[in-house]
Structure 1
Amino acid sequence: MLSEYAVEPAAIGADWRTFKDLIDRFGADKGRLISRLPSKWERMVKEAARNAGVSDRDYLRIVERLNDSRRKVVNFSRSYEHEANWITNVLREHADRPFKAIICHAGSTACAEAMEPDDCSDAHPLFRATTSCDVTRTADQIADALHTLTAVSKEVDIVDPYFDLRSAKGNYLATLVSLLARLVGDPGQTKAIRIHFRDHDTRPSAEILARDGSAKVTGLLPPGYRIEFYAWSEKLGGEDFHDRYVLTELGGIMIGAGLSADGPDESAAFTLLNFEHAQGLRSRFSDGSTVYARVGSAVRIRDDGGTELF
């Protein structure tokens, strides 16, 4: 549901109006993310603004907005050769792993996926974004829909009241395995994947979950990754624990029918969430939550298969 865009620093930093119009169109809730290419992309935008002769006032506005836009510019694990210019690097990366579009000055490249800043509107096919869609309930289709958001995030909260690793309780394990297989291709990251479910007297103890969970995911977690399982209960007179989400520090997706891979004849509605809304929902499943109550010990499984209760 999310698309990666390469945005030329010299193009977006040309003036305050261009910068503001473009930066406001990005974010996980908009369905578009800017590739941090190179790793000092923000600094290149500032340099471009200075070189373009923007006023001191507009320069400070660009700097301030860049500082507030960290969630819109993210690392997609791409390489950059500093001996070559930006467009040469982008075209090399595009040939290997295509961007949705390359936003750059007119005449920078004849690439079919290139577009100018003034063309960036929802009417343009290269800029059109999907923020809500039906996803077929197979493990691979669900994992595909979740991959981009989870790959570029450091903290992933999977919320499904019925999530269960036991096969008799739904095919959640297949979805998790398929998603982890996709994340293996994003090396050099540390990531916490937290799974939140509703407590029930038929659920296994934390000790059994640690033992069985480790057996199921050992060998699937990339180096630096960990999975944590949390049980929650509703508070008397409080919020119902029913809705399903995948939430991260960048944004979130609301999922209608849940994350169990129940087969190709069913679908679930996936909808991107407003950033502030997603962060508010994350707070419901964090220490000090006033909405739900944590039950018992949480389980942590590390990339080496080791477990701990906490």
Structure 2
Amino acid sequence: MIKEFALDPDAITSSYREFCYFTEKFGVSQGRVISAFPKKWRKLVCDSALREHKGKVEFSKIVERLNKFGNDIVFDTSRPSGEGSQTWIDRALVEHARKPFAAIISATAVNHPDVLLKDEIDEENPRFKAARQCAIPRTAQALIGCAEFLIRHAKIIKLVDPHFDPTKPRYQRPLEQICSLLPVSKAIVEIHRSDEIANDELIRRFQQSVSMLPSGVKMQLHIYEKAQMHNRFIITESGGLIYGVGLSDNEDGGGAPDEEVTLMETAVKNTRWNDYSKTSPVAIWP
């Protein structure tokens, strides 16, 4: 559901109005993020704005706005920065050949099918268009696929579902899918669920799923009173998704065949992140 774009710094700095027009279309909640490519992308934007507006208020307004961007807008996916002596567009094309962006947005016309000229950008352009809500089949792959971009680059993944139980295949398969996407790092998977089952029994059940965790990944179990929980989410530092039915699949049949998944607005994500950061885990593995 989230597209990563390479954005030419020179494409957005001709005016403060143009800067706002482009950048307001980005953010995890919009289904689009600006790749932090190269790593000094923000500096390149400042340099471009300085060339255009040196000594003018326009420059300071662009820089001030840029400094407010969080990691939900300019997203670092640890891409290499390429050869610094090359132009931005040449570096972007090399990186795109290695690991494709959704598209490259350029200030100048380039004869390449995946490069969009900045004047071609609007919500109806199929390469730029993004979905903020999707109706999907309730398979583990589809459920977790919606959150794949966030999961692959997260340090903390909060799974919120009052009935999450890894001993049941319909929950086990989505958890396995998540684990398959996690980098071998210090990621933490937090499970937030209700107390409808005794804590000792829940801990025993979750203990059985520890073997699926990649090396270096930890899992935490957080318990709440049943009355406190209802909605289902996957939340990371950078964004979140709302699941209408829950984080269980329907691959065995007998339940709702489809699911609606919605990207969280930033303010809602921040609220729910804080809500589910207040409790201490009842167990941590390994």
How far apart in 1 are the matches of 2:64 and 2:156?
A: 25
Secondary structure (helix, strand or coil) at the match of 1:171 reads helix
* Cα deviation, residue 130, structure 1: 0.5
* Cα deviation, residue 297, structure 1: 4.8
How far apart in 2 are the matches of 1:279 and 1:264?
A: 34
How far apart in 2 are the matches of 1:15 and 1:264?
A: 55
Cα distance change of structure 1 residues 150 and 43 upon mapping to structure 2, 3 Å threshold: same
* Cα deviation, residue 43, structure 1: 0.8
Which moved further from structure 2: 121-130 or 195-204? Answer: 195-204
**1:228-257 per-position Cα deviation (integer Å, ceiling 9, x unaligned):** 11111146xxxx511101112222111011
Q: What does residue range 265-280 of structure 1 map to in structure 2 within 5 Å?
A: 266-280=257-271
Cα distance change of structure 1 residues 14 and 152 upon mapping to structure 2, 3 Å threshold: farther
Partner residue of 1:262 out of 250, 263, 275: 250
Structure 2 gaps, min length 5: none
How far apart in 2 are the matches of 1:275 and 1:246?
A: 14
| Higher strand content, 1 or 2 | 1
CA RMSD, aligned part only? 2.2
Secondary structure (helix, strand or coil) at the match of 1:78 reads coil
Task: Give the TM-score of the pair, scaled to structure 1.
Answer: 0.83
How far apart in 1 are the matches of 2:159 and 2:230?
A: 13
User: What percentage of aligned pairs have identical amino acids?
Assistant: 26
Which letter does structure 2 place at the counterpart of 1:180?
Answer: C
* Cα deviation, residue 205, structure 1: 3.8
Cα distance change of structure 1 residues 85 and 281 upon mapping to structure 2, 3 Å threshold: same
* Cα deviation, residue 210, structure 1: 5.8
Cα distance change of structure 1 residues 152 and 55 upon mapping to structure 2, 3 Å threshold: farther
Secondary structure (helix, strand or coil) at the match of 1:177 reads helix
* Cα deviation, residue 119, structure 1: 2.4
Q: What does residue range 94-243 of structure 1 map to in structure 2 within 5 Å?
A: 94-107=96-109, 109-167=110-168, 170-184=169-183, 190-202=186-198, 204-205=200-201, 207-209=203-205, 211-214=207-210, 216-217=211-212, 220-223=213-216, 225-234=217-226, 240-243=228-231
* Cα deviation, residue 147, structure 1: 0.5
Cα distance change of structure 1 residues 149 and 227 upon mapping to structure 2, 3 Å threshold: same
Which letter does structure 2 place at the counterpart of 1:42?
Answer: R
Which letter does structure 1 place at the counterpart of 2:180?
Answer: A
Which letter does structure 2 place at the counterpart of 1:45?
Answer: V
Cα distance change of structure 1 residues 23 and 241 upon mapping to structure 2, 3 Å threshold: same
How far apart in 2 are the matches of 1:77 and 1:264?
A: 38
Structure 1 gaps, min length 5: 288-293
Contact 1:138 1:264 in 2 (8 A): no
Contact 1:157 1:196 in 2 (8 A): yes
How far apart in 2 are the matches of 1:230 and 1:255?
A: 19
How far apart in 1 are the matches of 2:158 and 2:281?
A: 17
Partner residue of 1:246 out of 234, 239, 243: 234
> What count of residue pairs does the alignment treat as equivalent?
281
2:46 counterpart of 1:9: no
Task: Give the TM-score of the pair, scaled to structure 2.
Answer: 0.89
Which moved further from structure 2: 201-210 or 13-22? Answer: 201-210
How far apart in 2 are the matches of 1:198 and 1:20?
A: 43
Contact 2:139 2:250 in 1 (8 A): yes
* Cα deviation, residue 145, structure 1: 1.2
Spell out structure 1 runs of 4+ moving beyond 3 A. Answer: 201-207
How far apart in 2 are the matches of 1:297 and 1:102?
A: 43
How far apart in 2 are the matches of 1:48 and 1:281?
A: 37
* Cα deviation, residue 165, structure 1: 1.0
Secondary structure (helix, strand or coil) at the match of 2:177 reads helix
